[in-house]
Structure 1
Amino acid sequence: MRHFSLAGFLFAFWLVLSGHYTLMLVVAGGASAVLCVLAMIRIRVADAEAHPIELLWGAVTYFPWLLREIAKSAWAVTKIILHPSLPISPTMTVVRASQRTSAGVATYANSITLTPGTITVGVNGNELVVHALVNEGALDLEGGAMDRRVSQFEGAA
C-alpha cells in the first residue's frame, strides 16, 4: 500500500509542477512515478521513513497549529524589534525531546527553528540546545507544549 501511495503522491506532484495535461505527458508522468518507486524499492529506500503515510492524519492538525505558532512568534518578535529599547534577553537552554524516532526529533528541532525567536543550535541524542531571543521563549519551550504536539503528530501520544 505504501508503494502505491508513494507513486500516487509522486504522480500528483509531477502533475502540479508540470502544468501540461496532454495524454502523452500524463502517461509519461505516471510511468516516471512508477519507475521512481521501483528504483526506490530496488535500492531499499522506500520504507516507512521515506513516505510516512501513517502521519497524514496527524499532519492535518499539526501543520495548522505550527503555522499559528509561527505567526504568533513572528508578531512577538516584530514587537520586540520595533520597541525603542529593544528588550531582548538572549538565552541558551537545553530541552529534552520525547519523540521515539530520529525523524520525530528532527521534526521537533525544525519546528523550534521555524518559530521566529528560537533556533535549535545543536542536537545530541534527544537533547536539543536552543537559543531564544527572549527568556520567555526559552521558558515556553521548557514548558513542553511543542514537544507534546510533535509527539502527538508522531503518534506517540
Structure 2
Amino acid sequence: MKSPAAISRGVLVLLGFLVAAWLLWSGHTEPLLLGLGAFSCLATLIVVWRMGYFDREIFALTISLRLLAYWCWLIKEIVKSSLAVAKVVLDPRLPISARYIELKASAPGPIGQVIFANSITLTPGTLTLDLYHGELKVHALTQQGADDLMSGEMDRRVAKLGER
C-alpha cells in the first residue's frame, strides 16, 4: 500500500497532466469552457480514484531519462517505418509481403505489455491484433517489419521501462 504522501503526489501529478493535456488540446480560454474542462479533469480524477488506481502498485511509470530515451527511440522508429511503408505503397509493383506473427512480451505487468502492444500499433506497417496474458498477435505489412519486431529490440526497451 502506498503512503498518503505518495497518493497525494500521484493525484496532483495526474491532475496536472490532465489539465495540461486539456489546455493544449482544446486551446480554449473562455470562462465557460475552462470551467467545463476543469469539471472533466476532476470527474476523470474521481473515476480513477474509485477504480483504486492510487491504492495499487501496478506499474510505476515515472518520467525519467529512461522513458524519455524510449520516446525518442520510438519516434525514430515511427519515422523509419513511415518511410518504409510509403516506399512500399508508392512502388508500382506494391511489394507487400504481409505476415502474421506471435510475440511474447517480456514486461511482467499488464501496463508494460500494453505499452509494448501500443508501440507496435503506433509504428506504421504493424498492428497489434490481440494481447492476452503477454502473448501478442501482430500483423506486419512487410517481412522486414515482422523481422524488426521478432528481433526483440522494442520488447527489450519496453521491459527496461519497468525496471527499478
TM-score range, shorter chain: 0.7 to 0.9
Residue 114 to residue 42, structure 1, CA distance change in 2 (3 Å): closer
The 8 Å contact of residues 91 and 135 in structure 1, kept in 2 or not, is answered as: yes
- TM-score using structure 2 length: 0.74
Amino acid at match of 1:75: L
For residues 119-157 of structure 1, the C-alpha deviation after alignment (integer angstroms, 9 at most, x for no partner) is: 11122211111111111211111110010111122337x
Structure 1 residue 110 displacement after superposition: 1.0
CA contact (8 A) 1:74 1:116 kept: yes
1:4 corresponds to which of 4, 9, 12: 12
Other-structure match for 1:93: 101
Task: Structure 1: give runs of 5+ residues left out of the alignment.
Answer: none
Instruction: Give the equivalent residue in structure 2 for 1:128.
Output: 136
Change (3 A) 1:87 1:46: same
Unaligned runs of 5+ residues in structure 2 are: 1-8
Give deviations 1:12-66, integer Å, cap 9, x for gaps: 34544464398xx69x94x98668646644553335679x764211331122211
1:129 and 1:76 map into 2 onto residues whose CA distance is 21
Residue type at the aligned position of 2:107: Q
RMSD: 3.0
Percent sequence identity is: 38
Counterpart of 2:63 in structure 1 is 56
Normalised by the length of structure 1, the TM-score is 0.77
What are the equivalent positions in structure 2 for 1:3-82 lying under 5 Å apart? 3-16=11-24, 17=26, 19-20=28-29, 29=38, 37=45, 40-41=48-49, 44-47=52-55, 54-57=61-64, 58-82=66-90
2:91 is aligned with 1:83? yes
Deviation at 1:8, TM superposition (A): 2.9
Count of equivalent residues: 151
User: What CA distance in whole angstroms lies between the structure 2 residues aligned with 1:62 and 1:32?
Assistant: 30
Q: 1: distance between equivalents of 2:155 and 2:30?
A: 43
